[in-house]
Amino acid sequence: MRRNKNTSLDTTVTDFIILGLPHPPNLRTLLFLVFFIIYILTQLGNLLILLTVWADPKLHARPMYILLGVLSFLDMWLSSVIVPRLILDFTPASKSIPFGGCVAQLYFFHFLGSTQCFLYTLMAYDRYLAICQPLRYPQLMNGRLCTILVSGAWVAGSIHGSIQVTLTFRLPYCGPNQIDYFICDIPAVLRLACADTTVNELVTFVDIGVVAASCFVLILLSYANIVHAILKIRTADGRRRAFSTCGSHLTVVTVYYVPCIFIYLRAGSKSPLDGAVAVFYTVVTPLLNPLIYTLRNQEVKSALKRIAAGRGTVNENK
């Protein structure tokens, strides 16, 4: 059992000070520009995919691209919850965040993050059905079922976020109020609690670490079956196309899950690496998604060309 050393204080924390990522003062301007550019590119890239899926009839009628559009939407919001606050750490602005603001950030971070976790699993299942059960795929994964599964992921993510925020902020916080992290997240906030956090750490381990690890294992099992099916394809071109489609997904999943599991299966850890590792799945992954899925997906590139050609024709007629 772990207790904060300041349990004797009778004051109640009304705001927190987010210390941010450790960095040399002379790199502050450079880091501000880097993360600002990353945020802009993340928003524009995911918005482009979202609009492409919505505008192209060949894409938004297929479950794979419905899931991709939802992923882009999640990435835009997840990035907006994390990166603007991170950017402020590299400016002279106050690093203070109201208690309610910290509660909101923790909730939306875990709500959107866990929803994304479930969505990656659904995307792996979709690819498994498409490659291993191609003849039955239209019946096994149709638009209606896809909508139900996506809705379930959103509901499960909301429940997860509510559980985590309730358990975290039911504890008393009486000082200190400095969060040694770049966002309000469970491990960093719990270190400031003036009460026993054993239950919270256990729930964090089970509800986040084990669930994330389980989803990751399910994804790996899906891809093990996919690889087995791909190796049976006789033509080299067919194998190449199948590997290309799944390779992009597996790349993003690895970048997302490995850092996530690293942090939450070590909830009591105070490693200085945690902040740097967390940047990968909170900042880098939302940026990589549109790049990987656009550059490595021929159908998305073709849809972009069709949309551009259509607009060009309209402009010429005007």
Instruction: Enumerate residues 6+ apart whose C-beta is below 8 A from 87.
Output: 32, 35, 36, 39
- Higher per-residue pLDDT: 254 or 76: 76
Comparing C-alpha atoms, which of 66, 249, 51 is closest to residue 147? 66
Is the per-residue pLDDT at 310 higher than 50? yes
* pLDDT, tens digit (0-9, with 9 covering 90-100), for 103-114: 999 999 999 999
Please tell me what DSSP assigns to residue 184: -
Mean pLDDT of 229-237: 73
Asked if the model's pLDDT at residue 42 lies above 50, the reply is yes
Query: What tokens were used for 229?
Result: 């099916």
Backbone angles phi, psi at 62, to 5 degrees: -110, 130
Q: Say what the pLDDT of residue 272 is.
A: 61
Closest to 245 in 3D by CA, of 130, 121, 134: 130
pLDDT category, 30, cuts 50, 70, 90? very high
Q: What's the rounded mean pLDDT across residues 87-97?
A: 86
Give the closest residue to 210 by CA, choosing from 114, 279, 123, 285: 114
Distance in angstroms (rounded) separating the CA atoms of residues 216 and 214: 5
Q: How far is Cα 192 from Cα 139, in angstroms, rounded to an integer?
A: 51
Interval 80-105 mean pLDDT: 90
HSE-up of 163 (CA within 13 Å, CB side)? 16
45-49, 195-199, 267-271: segment of lowest average pLDDT? 267-271
Predicted pLDDT of residue 121? 92
Least confident of 51-65, 84-98, 278-292, 293-307: 293-307
User: Within 13 Å and on the Cβ side, how many CA atoms surround 183?
Assistant: 27
Q: Are 153 and 111 in contact (CB under 8 A)?
A: no
Percent of the chain with pLDDT over 90: 29
Lowest mean pLDDT among 53-57, 78-82, 146-150, 219-223: 53-57
Top CATH class of 15-300 equals mainly alpha
- According to DSSP, residue 17 is labeled E
Sign for the pseudo-dihedral over CA of 1, 101, 259, 158: positive
Average pLDDT over residues 123-141: 87
| Rg for the chain, CA atoms, rounded | 22
In whole angstroms, what is the distance from residue 160 CA to residue 80 CA? 20
- Mean pLDDT calculated for residue range 212-217: 84
Evaluated on CA atoms 159, 85, 184, 96, the torsion sign reads negative
Between residues 296 and 78, the one the model is more confident about: 78
Mean pLDDT across the chain: 82
Six-digit token pair at 196? 């026993």
Q: Which residue has the higher pLDDT, 237 or 200?
A: 200
What 3-state class would DSSP assign to 120? helix
Res. 313 pLDDT band, cuts 50 70 90: very low
pLDDT class of 56 with cuts at 50, 70, 90: confident
Mean local confidence (pLDDT), 116-135? 88
Region 188-207 average pLDDT: 86
- Is pLDDT at 51 greater than 60 in this prediction? yes
Distance CA 286, CA 304 (A): 20
pTM (whole model) above 0.75? yes
The residue ranges of every structural domain in the chain are 15-300
Q: Return the top range by mean pLDDT from 13-22, 106-115, 284-293.
A: 106-115
Alpha-carbon distance 152 to 2, whole Å? 36
* pLDDT reading at 268 higher than 70: no
